[in-house]
Amino acid sequence: MLVSMKEITQRAYEDNYCVIAPNVNWEIEARAAIEVAEEMRAPMILDFVYGCHPDIIFLGEILTKLAERASVPIAVNQDHGACMAHNIAAIRAGFTGIMVDRSLLSYDENVAQVKEMTSIAHSVGVGVEGELGHVGANDENADDSSLYTDPDQAKHYVDATGIDQLAISIGTAHGAYKGKPKLRFDILERIKETVEVPLVLHGSSGTGDDLLKKACELGINKMNIYTDLLTSAAREVQKMDLEKDFLLEFYPNLIKGFKRRLKEVVEFSGSAGKVWEAGGGILDRRIIFDEGEVKQSH
């Protein structure tokens, strides 16, 4: 069933577990992720980064339809929406949550832009994730303390913007790691004591299951992952003999590797078995932006 991003993360927050958010750029990845969610009876978030597919409206139709048909709670979320146009496109596409990522701006600009977009999203029932601090790429700046989330700013940021989830920076990085990650759990614990919204961890791939499990236990409620899933999928495909194997087995092997790693992550996240019954349905509408006005069609 398709659920709101806010509901799926709020339940994780209240019940002290972490819901996994695999990035899915194509239908095949989305189907694989939902299969894992159904097999493990786990709520799940399908994350999508604007620009990773040529048509967000078309992909949004696919993702939301797959989520509606699923037997477990599934949210569809835009990952790293870098500008208002990207965020509006995701809302038009039927996403039930958006990330308003202005983490590279100054603190005041970050607050102002996220607050504005949050007001728009909330007016049509879409939840918002904001980021304080910055998670870079390929761990080149993962140990730069200036990029870590400031626990003293976290509460003000949440209150000032009105966001529903807070993405924090504690030492992870997007993509493949070049070195061994060092997570600042002390920062996570201080933020957890300060704010009262679900916390999000980006850049989980390559961090190590022991560290990720501890992050979940200490209060991370949404964990994004993708590179690990692709690596596992690629390794499964590499086992094939392209001269002898039936090439139609390419995609089944790809899915096998993708699902194997995703199951491992769901297992230590604490989200397995955390499904709930539908409460009347949500977002049974299309959001239409027409000449600057927001309209809803049922």
Q: Annotated catalytic sites, by residue? A: 79
User: 95 near 77, Cβ under 8 Å?
Assistant: yes
User: 84 CB contacts (<8 Å, ≥6 apart)?
Assistant: 113, 116, 117
Strand (E) positions, 97-245?
97-100, 127-132, 165-168, 199-201, 220-225
Residues 6+ apart with CB under 8 A from 80: 49, 50, 99, 101
Pairing relation of β-strands 44-49 and 74-81?
A: parallel
Positive or negative, the CA dihedral 91, 93, 98, 99 is negative
Radius of gyration of the chain (CA): 18
Taking residue 251's Cβ as centre, other Cβ atoms within 10 Å add up to 13
